């Protein structure tokens, strides 16, 4: 018999893979990369990135879309907990052959898997757009994977925390949509932080998506410097902290 965590991950992935989720995951980023990316390209001149590297806007946006899609998919996966509570499946699972530990770890694993697959998909789709500038190496691949996993855990934990704290559908939707809007558009996913006026620029760096996008972008374009190292550390600390909080809240969640 397979391990309970694997069985729960299997179940989580099955219930996540519905048409709405796939459209959200596939169509959205494709529209951003191939419509917005090329439509805005004449307006946005070469973007300086790292050590004297100019990226065109589609390449900049496609690399940002990897982090954006990780956030997007893991927020949705984190909603599994919300849906389980809403549809009575949390109690049902807890009365079955599983512990809370199994449940928490299975959700994190699901989120990480969805995040990695999502990142790989956007990498594959976006590669033709940024392949001329890409400098992926054995040194940068671990940074990209680390960023993807840490970002998944971070946003998955955040969605889990929201799921455990709210009980009304309206409240949940308002919070998730607000969080999504802030994270998506007050970040470096769509535009560089350089040149942005204060206090917006500071707000960019209060947003974990900025760190995730910067780390992945640095990995793809081979421009890992001291600042990126700090961003890796911030991402790791935030992911750990939110994971601990989410686990504690899930452990205490009443049935």
Write out the residues near another protein by the rule CB under 8 A.
Answer: 1-2, 7-8, 10-11, 14-15, 18, 83, 87-89, 91-99, 255
Name which of 14 and 168 has its Cβ closer to another protein: 14
Q: Which stretches of the chain are assigned E, i.e. beta strand?
A: 47-49, 53-55
**Rounded least distance, CB 100 to another protein, Å:** 10
Taking CA atoms, 98 is separated from 35, 56, 255, in Å, by 46, 50, 14
Residue 239: CB minimum distance to another protein, A: 28
Minimum CB distance to another protein smaller for 62 or for 76: 76
Q: CA–CA separation, 93 vs 84, rounded Å?
A: 9
Between CA 169 and CA 216 the distance in angstroms is: 33
Which one, 14 or 197, has the nearer CB to another protein? 14
In the complex, the smallest distance separating the C-beta of residue 113 from another protein, rounded to whole angstroms, is 17
Which C-beta is closer to another protein: that of 62 or that of 111? 111
* Cβ proximity to another protein, 164 vs 188, nearer residue: 164
3-state secondary structure of 77: helix
Q: In angstroms, what is the minimal distance from the CB of 151 to another protein?
A: 26
Per the CB < 8 A criterion, the answer to whether 210 and 200 are in contact is: no
Q: Shortest Cβ distance from residue 255 to another protein (Å)?
A: 5
As a whole number of angstroms, the distance between CA 40 and CA 192 comes to 14
Q: Given the structure tokens 């996008």, which residue do they identify?
A: 213
Beta carbons within 8 Å of 86's beta carbon, 6+ residues apart? 169
- Give whichever of 30 and 89 is closer to another protein, judged by the CB atom: 89
Q: How far is the CB of 91 from another protein (least distance, A)?
A: 6
Q: Which residue has the tokens 């040194």?
A: 139
Q: State how far the Cα of 37 lies from the Cα of 41, in Å rounded to an integer.
A: 6
């Amino acid at each position: 018999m397979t391990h309970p965590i694997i069985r729960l991950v299997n179940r989580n992935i099955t219930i996540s893979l519905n048409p709405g989720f796939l459209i959200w995951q596939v169509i959205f980023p494709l529209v951003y990369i191939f419509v917005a990316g090329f439509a805005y390209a004449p307006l946005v001149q070469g973007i300086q990135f790292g050590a004297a590297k100019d990226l065109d806007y589609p390449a900049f946006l496609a690399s940002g879309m990897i982090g954006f899609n990780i956030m997007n998919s893991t927020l949705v996966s984190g909603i599994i907990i919300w849906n389980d509570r809403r549809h009575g499946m949390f109690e049902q699972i807890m009365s079955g052959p599983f512990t809370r530990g199994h449940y928490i770890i299975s959700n994190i694993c699901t989120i990480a898997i969805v995040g990695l697959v999502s990142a790989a998909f956007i990498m594959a789709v976006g590669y033709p757009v940024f392949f001329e500038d890409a400098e992926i190496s054995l040194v940068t691949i671990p940074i990209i994977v680390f960023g993807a996993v840490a970002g998944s855990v971070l946003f998955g934990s955040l969605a889990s925390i929201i799921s455990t704290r709210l009980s009304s559908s309206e409240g949940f939707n308002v919070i998730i949509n607000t969080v999504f809007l802030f994270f998506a558009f007050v970040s470096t996913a769509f535009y560089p932080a350089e040149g942005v006026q204060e206090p917006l620029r500071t707000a960019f760096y209060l947003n974990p998506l900025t760190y995730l996008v910067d780390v992945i972008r640095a990995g793809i374009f081979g421009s890992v410097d001291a600042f990126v190292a700090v961003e890796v550390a911030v991402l790791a600390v935030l992911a750990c902290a939110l994971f601990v909080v989410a686990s504690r809240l899930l452990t205490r969640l009443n049935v």
